């Protein structure tokens, strides 16, 4: 598992998690799995998600771990809002999704392994753009 239940403590207290889930760890694990799948969906076109999410301990990207935890907490709070500041978590979730969209669009480049072809070269997309046609009128 990429993020454990114990690591959620940085975002929600134990008693809050227990009240939301009624002590059922499968609900927490489901929220974490959903969060991992959600973050993967934004990274999958450009980055090697198998390598990213197979990492353990300090080898994991701290930034991706943080975004997974934010998404997992959001998926828990959808179930029940127990003694938590809903607006704070909603804004954190929206910032995470906005960040992931920018990564998916290539506007931001986190330090993550890129997808590679069979010969080991990185894959990617090339975008060719130009400015609008400029017309002089005299």
Position 125 pLDDT exceeds 60:
no
| Residue 56 domain-assigned (yes or no) | yes
| Residue 113 domain-assigned (yes or no) | no
Predicted TM-score (pTM) of this structure: 0.80
Q: How many domains does the chain have?
A: 1
| Residue 47 domain-assigned (yes or no) | yes
Judged by DSSP in three states, 39 sits in helix
| Residue 18 domain-assigned (yes or no) | yes
| Residue 114 domain-assigned (yes or no) | no
Residues of the domain holding 80:
5-104
Contact present, 28 and 69 (Cβ < 8 Å): no
Cβ contacts of 135 within 8 Å, gap of 6 or more: none
Q: Which residues pair with 47 in a beta bridge?
A: 114
CB-count burial class (<10 Å; 0-12, 13-18, 19+) for 73? buried
Average pLDDT of the chain to the nearest whole number: 88
CB-count burial class (<10 Å; 0-12, 13-18, 19+) for 65? middle
Q: DSSP alpha helices (H): ranges in the chain?
A: 14-21, 25-43, 49-54, 62-79, 86-104
Query: CA 100: distance to chain centroid?
Result: 6
Position 66 pLDDT exceeds 90:
yes
Q: Of 55-64, 88-97, 113-122, which gets the smallest average pLDDT?
A: 113-122
Q: For 1-11, what is the mean pLDDT?
A: 92
| Residue 138 domain-assigned (yes or no) | no
d(CA 89, CA 77): 8
Q: Which residue has the tokens 């669009």?
A: 105
| Residue 13 domain-assigned (yes or no) | yes
């Amino acid at each position: 598992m990429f993020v454990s239940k114990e690591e959620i403590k940085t975002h929600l207290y134990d008693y809050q998690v227990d009240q939301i889930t009624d002590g059922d760890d499968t609900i927490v694990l489901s929220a974490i799995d959903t969060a991992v799948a959600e973050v993967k969906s934004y990274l999958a076109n450009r980055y090697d998600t198998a390598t990213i999410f197979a990492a353990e301990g300090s080898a994991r990207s701290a930034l991706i771990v943080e975004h997974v935890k934010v998404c997992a907490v959001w998926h828990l709070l959808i179930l029940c809002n127990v003694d938590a500041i809903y607006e704070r978590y909603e804004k954190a979730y929206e910032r995470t999704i906005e960040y992931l969209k920018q990564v998916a669009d290539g506007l931001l480049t986190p330090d993550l392994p890129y997808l590679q072809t069979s010969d080991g070269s990185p894959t990617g997309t090339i975008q060719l753009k130009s400015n609008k046609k400029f017309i002089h009128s005299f």
